[in-house]
A and B are shown apart, each in its own frame.
Chain A
């Protein structure tokens, strides 16, 4: 009996992500969820980001719009307003959501746009070689804080999910991870909920996913996933912050 196979919406293209990258796990989960929802690909439009996640449009076999860095929630607004009955979601990294695109994401949430935001938080800027992000935990070393993040110099990890939860326009805010198979199962449930709420026009859903970037964290994939369990969750505790 077949128990698990690669979702058919995931293309045969080899993903460009580094070995053990959590981006790939989440791409796969999104494809699984979209397939299980069985709403027809004509009813799904994804908005892809700038950063490592940009090529998600090569991996999931649906229509895509590639947005400028950080502007995905504005682009998704433009898409969704024209297609109010379709599932519109953004896939964005922490550079987008917590740095350059804070304005767009906050205001999309505040308008209660019926979109889902999949927010990949791996604590660094992956595509540009691992610079510090607003989400970098205190003490973590990156190429732009080589001695570890110092709050005197660089401030504190930005708790965006808490902000989203406080905004009236959001209906569902959750923080998940994909570092264990149980976490993967939970993340899949969370993404499914977010997509369902979007289609039910309950408001904006945000699924923050604590991800590993083994290459830029200079760890093996197994070590990176363990780092999430041992350290990352202290800065970013997992769980639902808001449910409808």
Chain B
């Protein structure tokens, strides 16, 4: 089936048996709600689709539905996701699962409606107040827009935490052949009550009441709740970091890119290889948890790491953390000591901002500059960050 990314995601949600969608229109993702409503899923699977009065209301409707143990989702773009951050923090605080889709556009402020990846920090650092993370999946194809709905909900319920699909205008709007997942029945009320004993579905006779809340005024009790959340996050870090590696084994120049940027860079690697440049692509599929360990392995032979993003340099922070920190606190202990890495590659960034999208050739030209010139002297005009960032050659004491 030939579909837009936004349409594929909407159809996959109906087929996966999602219980409710609440949203507020914003470019470039309005097709998600439009597709859902055109399908009239309330007549087939019984799914609720409701246009809310604002993103703030939408995320709180998600909160209400999630509190009853149901699969709830919303979608928006940067300005709307910013408005939702308070609600996302409450969802994390109350340990509620849900899916939030961000089809990114250029910012800050009202910005532009063209594609961008500038919400990486917002998505991977939590974004709202308090100690929390969201599980972030970054699709780079229409097929992944469809497939990630199921993965996101599975993780959201496993870790009792919101999951996010961080796409951008390119992935949302482009059309591609896609195989949709098979239809799955929505859970019945009794199945939900049996499966999710924490949900507020009405206290049954003789049972204790459920209170879905993020509040606890007792600091000791609150700390326990926070530590419990951190433990769940650690399990996610240990088990669910995902990546894709293309020609990484012998890569001298390793491109690290996600989402639509990775898609463009796949072509760049192909072109580079044709011209005899040993380039590779490492694509984090989960942005949080970040696949740090896999990146360390992929970067073993790299002389240069080029982080390519449609922003001013955000994921590069995680790349640096992964490659330059001896004991990365966000990953498991007993990892190889990267300070003894035979190569300490240089790490630079290449980005376009404001909704401008680079071409594969543009990246290739940039790679050629790196390849021919010593990295410290490379400073092409489009580079958005200082050209070099050398990893420390000795471990910090």
Which residues from chain A sit less than 8 Å from chain B, CB to CB?
A: 40-45, 47-48, 54, 57, 61-68, 71, 74-83, 86, 103-104, 107
Residues from chain A with Cβ under 8 Å of B209 in the complex = 41, 61-64
User: In the docked arrangement, what's the CA distance between A50 and B200, Å?
Assistant: 18
User: In the docked arrangement, what's the CA distance between A64 and B70, Å?
Assistant: 15
Q: Which of B182-232 contact A (CB under 8 A)?
A: 200-205, 209-215
Residues from chain A with Cβ under 8 Å of B86 in the complex = 68
- Asked whether B56 is an interface residue with its Cβ less than 8 Å from the other chain, the reply is yes
Contact A71 B205 (CB under 8 A): no
Partner of A64, one of B57, B72, B210: B210
User: In the docked arrangement, what's the CA distance between A47 and B60, Å?
Assistant: 12
Contact A71 B57 (CB under 8 A): yes
Residues from chain A with Cβ under 8 Å of B137 in the complex = none
Partner of A47, one of B54, B64, B210: B64
Contact B65 A82 (CB under 8 A): yes
Given contacts A45-B201, A78-B64, contact A103 B19 (CB under 8 A): no
- Asked whether B22 is an interface residue with its Cβ less than 8 Å from the other chain, the reply is yes
Contact B65 A81 (CB under 8 A): yes
- Asked whether B67 is an interface residue with its Cβ less than 8 Å from the other chain, the reply is yes
- Asked whether B90 is an interface residue with its Cβ less than 8 Å from the other chain, the reply is yes
User: In the docked arrangement, what's the CA distance between A19 and B46, Å?
Assistant: 48
Contact B202 A67 (CB under 8 A): no
Nearest-Cβ distance from residue B281 to partner chain A, whole angstroms: 41
Residues from chain A with Cβ under 8 Å of B362 in the complex = none
Partner of A77, one of B54, B61, B201, B204: B61
Residues from chain A with Cβ under 8 Å of B62 in the complex = 78
Contact A57 B211 (CB under 8 A): yes
Nearest-Cβ distance from residue A145 to partner chain B, whole angstroms: 27
User: In the docked arrangement, what's the CA distance between A64 and B44, Å?
Assistant: 30
- Asked whether B68 is an interface residue with its Cβ less than 8 Å from the other chain, the reply is yes
- Asked whether B153 is an interface residue with its Cβ less than 8 Å from the other chain, the reply is no
- Asked whether B389 is an interface residue with its Cβ less than 8 Å from the other chain, the reply is no
User: In the docked arrangement, what's the CA distance between A139 and B180, Å?
Assistant: 64
Residues from chain B with Cβ under 8 Å of A77 in the complex = 50, 57, 61, 64
Residues from chain A with Cβ under 8 Å of B70 in the complex = 82
Contact A64 B53 (CB under 8 A): no
User: In the docked arrangement, what's the CA distance between A107 and B60, Å?
Assistant: 13
Given contacts A75-B63, A78-B64, contact A103 B203 (CB under 8 A): no
Given contacts A40-B205, A62-B203, A104-B53, contact A68 B60 (CB under 8 A): yes
Contact B202 A78 (CB under 8 A): no
Residues from chain B with Cβ under 8 Å of A57 in the complex = 211, 213
Partner of A66, one of B72, B201, B205, B212: B212
Contact A42 B204 (CB under 8 A): yes
- Asked whether B94 is an interface residue with its Cβ less than 8 Å from the other chain, the reply is yes
Partner of B56, one of A40, A64, A71, A81: A71
Partner of B57, one of A42, A45, A47, A104: A104
13 new A-B pairs (CB below 8 Å) besides A68-B90, A79-B65, A81-B48?
A: A41-B205, A45-B201, A48-B213, A57-B213, A61-B203, A64-B209, A66-B212, A71-B57, A71-B60, A74-B58, A78-B62, A81-B65, A82-B64
- Asked whether B115 is an interface residue with its Cβ less than 8 Å from the other chain, the reply is no
User: In the docked arrangement, what's the CA distance between A57 and B209, Å?
Assistant: 9
Residues from chain B with Cβ under 8 Å of A63 in the complex = 200-203, 209-211
Contact B203 A74 (CB under 8 A): no
Identify the closest chain B residue to A61 (Cβ): B209
- Asked whether B107 is an interface residue with its Cβ less than 8 Å from the other chain, the reply is no
User: In the docked arrangement, what's the CA distance between A62 and B67, Å?
Assistant: 14
- Asked whether B87 is an interface residue with its Cβ less than 8 Å from the other chain, the reply is yes
- Asked whether B52 is an interface residue with its Cβ less than 8 Å from the other chain, the reply is yes
Give per-residue flags for B11-24: 1 if the beta carbon is below 8 A from chain A beta carbons, else 0: 00000000110100
Partner of A76, one of B54, B64, B90, B205: B64
Closest 10 CB pairs between A and B? A78-B64, A66-B213, A74-B60, A75-B64, A71-B60, A78-B65, A78-B61, A42-B202, A63-B200, A107-B53
User: In the docked arrangement, what's the CA distance between A65 and B214, Å?
Assistant: 10
Residues from chain B with Cβ under 8 Å of A79 in the complex = 64-65, 67-68, 200
Residues from chain A with Cβ under 8 Å of B61 in the complex = 74-75, 77-78, 81
Contact B72 A78 (CB under 8 A): yes
Identify the closest chain B residue to A50 (Cβ): B215
Give per-residue flags for B51-86: 1 if the beta carbon is below 8 A from chain A beta carbons, else 0: 011101110111111111010100000000000001
Residues from chain A with Cβ under 8 Å of B66 in the complex = 78
User: In the docked arrangement, what's the CA distance between A74 and B86, Å?
Assistant: 14
Contact A81 B50 (CB under 8 A): yes
User: In the docked arrangement, what's the CA distance between A46 and B297, Å?
Assistant: 51
CB<8 Å pairs between A and B, sample of 21: A40-B205, A41-B209, A63-B200, A63-B202, A65-B68, A66-B212, A66-B214, A71-B87, A74-B58, A74-B60, A76-B64, A77-B57, A78-B66, A78-B67, A81-B20, A81-B50, A82-B19, A83-B68, A83-B202, A103-B54, A103-B57
